[in-house]
Structure 1
Amino acid sequence: MFNLKHTKRTYYTRHIKRTLLSAYLVAAGLVAQPVFANNDPLSILPPETLVRKSFSNIPQLRAGNMGINLAGNQKSRLEAGHYEWTARAGLSRRTDLNGGRYREQEFALERPVRWFGKADKDRAIGDKGIELAKASYADQWHETSRALLKDWFEVLREDFTLKQLRQQLEITEQLSAIAAKRVKAGDAAHFEQLFAETELQRVRALLQQTEQRFELATQALQANYPGLPLPSAGSLPQPLSVDSQDPKASEHWLDKILEDNHELELAQAEADYMGLQAARVDQDKMPDPTLGIRSSRERDGQERVVGFSISMPFPGAARSSERSAALTKAQIANEKLQQVQTKVKLMARQAITDSQRTFTTWKTLDSLRQQSMQQANLMQTAYRLGEVGITEALNTRKMALDSAIAADTAQIDALSAYARLHLDAHLIWALD
């Protein structure tokens, strides 16, 4: 007996198998990793020449460079000393008991002098001030580089999220059109079309929100780093694992970061500078003398007087208070140095761990993305053939979108952590 129902089921089964195989191949092509012309993880960064050119237009860095010139001027002032020559002139009239009147003139030249090695200490403070200004400028450069890295990858995250949502919007529009045709043909209930349209609106709303974030991120990047082009990567390079480069990767990177750390150098320079200032103030417990020469004409020039003078103030409570304040400032600077040492070591270890963990997370989410994309494409084909409902097709597609966005975000996070590690180790964008 001819079984039309059985024959029809066999036909659909074979057709579905052929279609699913084609969908699988298409899905494999969609999720396969792209071939990169440059598979260096750092190739995703802007060119170093453009970064340096952009940094030359950043106000805080220009101000930091001016701070070095200011420190040079302060050094010259300290070498010259804050004491100046003082000229004194006097005119008087003398009257004696016999009624004689005489005009008398007096002139004196005085200047305090630094002694007991105070001039040498001032020169040392001037040199340390220049070193401090250079360390401050280097730290500003490094912090600006960190900020650029953060803003750059923020634009990349939103850009690749936009690409995923636009692709998802196109697929959701296709599913919505299929649902409308099936409802019109009487092969599906009306709620399937409503469900598909609701999902379409949801994806459009997500796309609009991401477009807004992308626009804000690009505006911030262009405003903060003038002249720097926007990221325009069509695909992402493969992240690299820190562990695969060196069996003792963590210790290697930790030593590399701590070897030349601007934040540590700045804190050390500040502590040394405050220590020199405290020592200099302590020397002022012995006041500086004022030396002078004087010449006078008395009794209308009948007598001429030439002499030498020396004066010295008596130290009071103000000097003692100033010494205590300077010593306290030096102690605060030393405490800050220890705090910075702990902070820098912790941040260095966190940067190493972050690079390692983000790579592992990306590998896991990338595998999940491939599985989700394959499942979504298979379910989409099955829905087109009427084998599954719209709910299953849209749910698997939504899961595929979430996994794709998560995988792209994890990949960008891994690239960002890898770049941050190289930045902190001064392997990229280092200050000359």
Structure 2
Amino acid sequence: MKRLILIAALAAAGAHAETLPTMPGLLPEPVAHPLLVNDAMVASARADAEAARQDARLAESSPYEFTARLNAQKRRLDVGPQYKEWNVGIERTLRLPGKAQADRRIGQAFMAESDAVYGEALHEAARVLLTLWLDWAQAERAVELAARNLVAAQENADAVDKRVKAGDAARLDASIARADLAEQERAAVEARTAAAVAWAQLNARFPGLKREHAMLPEPQPLARPLQFWRERILAESDELKLAAAARDKAAGHAARARAERVPDPTVGVYTASEFAGQERFTGVMVSVPIPGARRSRLADRAVSAAESARQLHQAKLVQLEAHIASEVATAEGAYEAWRAARTNAASMGENARLATRAYALGEADLQSLLAARRQANSAALSALSAQVTAVHAQAALMVDAHLVWGLGEE
């Protein structure tokens, strides 16, 4: 029976994993993940995380050490010989149990902080990679559109020149066609320059990405309600985990400060020899500082700092919830805007095709043709921009939810 329950639980977990949102066409995880973990900022955060782990070990260990004492002296009587005497002992301050417990709590907070520091650096690198990659992919697509427009302008200029020579068009049309060709050449140069700049920025931050990964994915509907994204992102947010670690650390320091109101005792043992060994004795030594008002004031200050950290964590939670709601609304709106822009681009493209045919049949003038092509080009660029915006909005949600590029596995 237990075996059947375990199999059912594993099957349910597998089914749940299969239903997690995906985005076909996004930069593949085997490509993106190495770029992220090898990023310089992530490597720096990895070193900081290791330092935080050392801080955790320091916090958990006792600050006290053994102290050895040795005294040597000579005793001289008014009448008689001198006597050599010595006193040797060892002592150590003992950390009280309440303080040790508070130190362990602080150490655990340092460990949580170290993991969150690395996770947040990886998350921020993923957001930068997403933005730079989409900028580059958009620029490469704009180059293709510009090249297509340049070919159309060249064909149009050639056709007008033939019609001028045949006496079917005015020289003004040839001048207008050549001006349009020059404008498209300028636009093509600007598009190639923008693509080169976008590639340089991407390759400088994340070297090793190949040009074959410039394909833009098609936006997808979210297919998940706000509640799913809220729960997932809050559970995975390293930013929130950092605030929680700061809260727990402050609470641990407050507990430590309260425990410090009772001083730690120092315990030692010693042995001594006097009168040249004629007297020998051993003993136990215990000393306890007498606490003053400073200890209570330090404890009160630590309690106030802990309350501040708790309030900051709560404020970060509220801020993150608002950010998630905004991101979901943006992604939903961007998807609908892309659909509308795509429809408009298709309509404008069809208008340009019909205008080209009408001009060839002599049913439309050159100005109408060029206007139709400009509208089609503007609509195509708008659709491209809307596509990138929609992909970025949805992919940013998936990055925040650690659903892509192995972010949830680090």
From 358, 371, 389, the equivalent of 2:347 is 371
Q: Report the alpha carbon displacement of residue 409 of structure 1 after superposing the two structures with TM.
A: 1.9
Q: Is the 8 A contact 2:60 2:107 kept in 1?
A: yes
Corresponding residue for 1:390? Answer: 366
The reply to whether residue 46 of structure 1 matches residue 23 of structure 2 is no
Corresponding residue for 1:240? Answer: 220
The reply to whether residue 174 of structure 1 matches residue 150 of structure 2 is no
The reply to whether residue 381 of structure 1 matches residue 357 of structure 2 is yes
Corresponding residue for 1:431? Answer: 408
Structure number with larger C-alpha Rg: 1
The Cα offsets for residues 361-415 of structure 1, whole Å up to 9 and x where unpaired, read as: 1111111111111111222233344443332222211111110111122123222
The reply to whether residue 205 of structure 1 matches residue 186 of structure 2 is yes
Looking at structure 2, the residues matched to 378 and 128 of structure 1 have their Cα atoms a distance apart, in angstroms, of 68
Deviating more after overlay: 182-191 vs 107-116: 182-191
Q: Report the alpha carbon displacement of residue 316 of structure 1 after superposing the two structures with TM.
A: 4.8
Corresponding residue for 1:311? Answer: 287
Looking at structure 1, the residues matched to 148 and 386 of structure 2 have their Cα atoms a distance apart, in angstroms, of 19
Q: Is the 8 A contact 1:155 1:218 kept in 2?
A: yes
Q: Which amino acid aligns with 2:142?
A: T
Q: Is the 8 A contact 1:156 1:231 kept in 2?
A: no
Looking at structure 2, the residues matched to 332 and 212 of structure 1 have their Cα atoms a distance apart, in angstroms, of 50
Query: Equivalent pairs: percent with the same residue?
Result: 29
C-alpha root-mean-square deviation of aligned residues, in Å?
A: 2.6
Corresponding residue for 1:299? Answer: 275
Q: Report the alpha carbon displacement of residue 295 of structure 1 after superposing the two structures with TM.
A: 2.3
Q: Report the alpha carbon displacement of residue 308 of structure 1 after superposing the two structures with TM.
A: 2.2
List aligned pairs for 1:346-357, cutoff 5 A. Answer: 346-357=322-333
Q: Is the 8 A contact 2:106 2:248 kept in 1?
A: no
From 60, 63, 72, the equivalent of 1:82 is 63
Looking at structure 1, the residues matched to 286 and 196 of structure 2 have their Cα atoms a distance apart, in angstroms, of 73
Q: Report the alpha carbon displacement of residue 278 of structure 1 after superposing the two structures with TM.
A: 1.7
Corresponding residue for 1:277? Answer: 253
Corresponding residue for 1:61? Answer: 42
Q: Aligned pairs, how many?
A: 388
Looking at structure 1, the residues matched to 74 and 121 of structure 2 have their Cα atoms a distance apart, in angstroms, of 65
Q: Secondary structure at the match of 1:256?
A: helix
The Cα offsets for residues 172-204 of structure 1, whole Å up to 9 and x where unpaired, read as: 122223334444555444443333333333333
Looking at structure 2, the residues matched to 325 and 191 of structure 1 have their Cα atoms a distance apart, in angstroms, of 84
The reply to whether residue 267 of structure 1 matches residue 243 of structure 2 is yes
Q: Secondary structure at the match of 1:42?
A: coil
Corresponding residue for 1:145? Answer: 126
Q: Report the alpha carbon displacement of residue 91 of structure 1 after superposing the two structures with TM.
A: 2.2
Q: Report the alpha carbon displacement of residue 125 of structure 1 after superposing the two structures with TM.
A: 1.8
For the structure 1 residues 44 and 79, does the alpha-carbon distance in structure 2 shift closer, same or farther, using more than 3 Å as the test? same
The Cα offsets for residues 20-55 of structure 1, whole Å up to 9 and x where unpaired, read as: xxxxxxxxxxxxxxxxxxxx9722212212222222
Deviating more after overlay: 224-233 vs 149-158: 224-233
The reply to whether residue 220 of structure 1 matches residue 201 of structure 2 is yes
For the structure 1 residues 100 and 384, does the alpha-carbon distance in structure 2 shift closer, same or farther, using more than 3 Å as the test? same
Q: Secondary structure at the match of 2:95?
A: coil
Q: Is the 8 A contact 1:41 1:239 kept in 2?
A: no
List aligned pairs for 1:8-23, cutoff 5 A. Answer: none
For the structure 1 residues 298 and 409, does the alpha-carbon distance in structure 2 shift closer, same or farther, using more than 3 Å as the test? same
